[in-house]
Amino acid sequence: MIHKQGLYKYALLVLLLICSILLGVVVSLLAGQQPMDTQDFTMAAQNARKSVVGIEAKGKEVVRSGYYYDFFRNRFFRRDYREFVEDFENMGSGMIIDSTGYVLTSYHVVEAARDLTVSFSDGNRYAAEVVGLDSLSDLAVVRIADTTRRFQPVSFADSDRLRVGQWAFAMGNPFLNFFRNSDPTVTAGVVSALHRNFRSSSGAIYQNMIQTDAAINPGNSGGPLMDHNGRVIGVNAFIFTGSEESPQAGSIGIGFAIPANLAQRVAQELITHQERRKAYTGIVLYDVPAPGFYHEPGVYVQYADPLGPAAEAGIRMGDRITAVNNRRIHAPHDLTGILVPFFPGDTISISVVREGERRNFPVVLGTR
């Protein structure tokens, strides 16, 4: 009996020892995974360094001086402005999207450039040329001139699956013109909001923008906004600054990025067609309300191209369009903004009111 009790105690001790070992293994594994759930982006940023580049764009632009007065030309002291050509140099960021050297960046970084240089974190610098520009989405693709080299492209995440509050970090070269060092800067934050819409003074239309509190400063434009795994979720575009007088005042914690899904589609368009083909509906709109409809949103179809996509879908002149893809239309330019994320061949739903009856028409977008 005493012998059996000893065996039981021994077996119990062995069991407790095994449980302790297993518990230690589980704790170690959990501890090893923990950095993926925190804001530690060390490995992700390290892996992305080879794919994030600095961009130097040089060229000439027409600028306007302050007013001047020429007595012999203007006897009534009218203020006038003088235009002259001036050299410029833009500094921005970009990301490798193809191993052969295609680089995705911002339109406003390279729009008027005659001389482009792409700089890597290892110090290598390459001449580049513009492949295609899209002013509407503020995106551009350039290509490194040395086609014999192969480069490491970034990986993209599905930006439609983003959630407010998830971790994000921005990479770029905000100080390229100061340090002359193309090693990218990393700033961290969260996805603060989604589906932000803006229209810039330059005409660019930003739809479904990602808002983040990761610091995005001048020079970050065109660089990636990434998730904690180092996958691109957006293209850094612009910031709100602390000074209306000086757009270079720096970040105040509100930055915006173009969603990765849209950026990829635009990039493919620019690579394939060297331009962004605009989605075409074939209708001309006006917003003069008819009697009895002052309280209703909508614009009216002034003209419908008989061979255009909208007419082929059944939309007629005189129809009142109230929504596109369930987004209300209040003015003709609203349609332009809504169509920014869409491409020829995509299908949209146009809601109209005709003779008091509400109808929905699926329209396959075309191109001209």
* Average pLDDT of the chain to the nearest whole number: 83
- Tally the C-alpha atoms within 13 A of residue 170's C-alpha that lie toward its C-beta: 35
pLDDT at 173: 85
Q: How confident is the model at residue 174 (pLDDT cuts 50, 70, 90)?
A: confident
pLDDT at 72: 38
For 258-303, the pLDDT digits (tens) are: 999 999 999 999 999 999 998 999 999 988 655 555 556 789 999 9
Least confident of 31-35, 109-113, 250-254, 332-336: 31-35
Residue in 289, 284, 286, 262 with CA at minimum distance from that of residue 343: 262
pLDDT at 52: 96
Q: In sequence order, what E strands does 36-146 have?
A: 52-68, 80-96, 102-106, 113-119, 125-134, 139-144
Catalytic residues: 108, 138, 221
CATH code, residues 283-364? 2.30.42.10
Distance, CA of 144 to CA of 327 (rounded, Å): 40
Distance, CA of 132 to CA of 55 (rounded, Å): 16
Least confident of 137-151, 201-215, 220-234: 201-215
Give this prediction's pTM: 0.77
Q: Are strands 205-212 and 185-199 parallel, antiparallel or unpaired?
A: antiparallel
CATH superfamily of 159-273: Trypsin-like serine proteases (2.40.10.10)
Domain ranges in the chain are 48-144, 159-273, 283-364
For 131-160, the pLDDT digits (tens) are: 999 998 999 999 999 999 999 999 999 999
Distance, CA of 245 to CA of 165 (rounded, Å): 31
Distance, CA of 244 to CA of 129 (rounded, Å): 34
SS3 326: coil
Contact 210, 249 (CB under 8 A): no
CATH 3.40.190.170 applies to domain 48-144: no
Rounded average pLDDT over 341-352? 96
Task: Please check whether the two domains, 48-144 and 283-364, share a CATH topology.
Answer: no
149 φ, ψ (degrees, to nearest 5): -90, 155
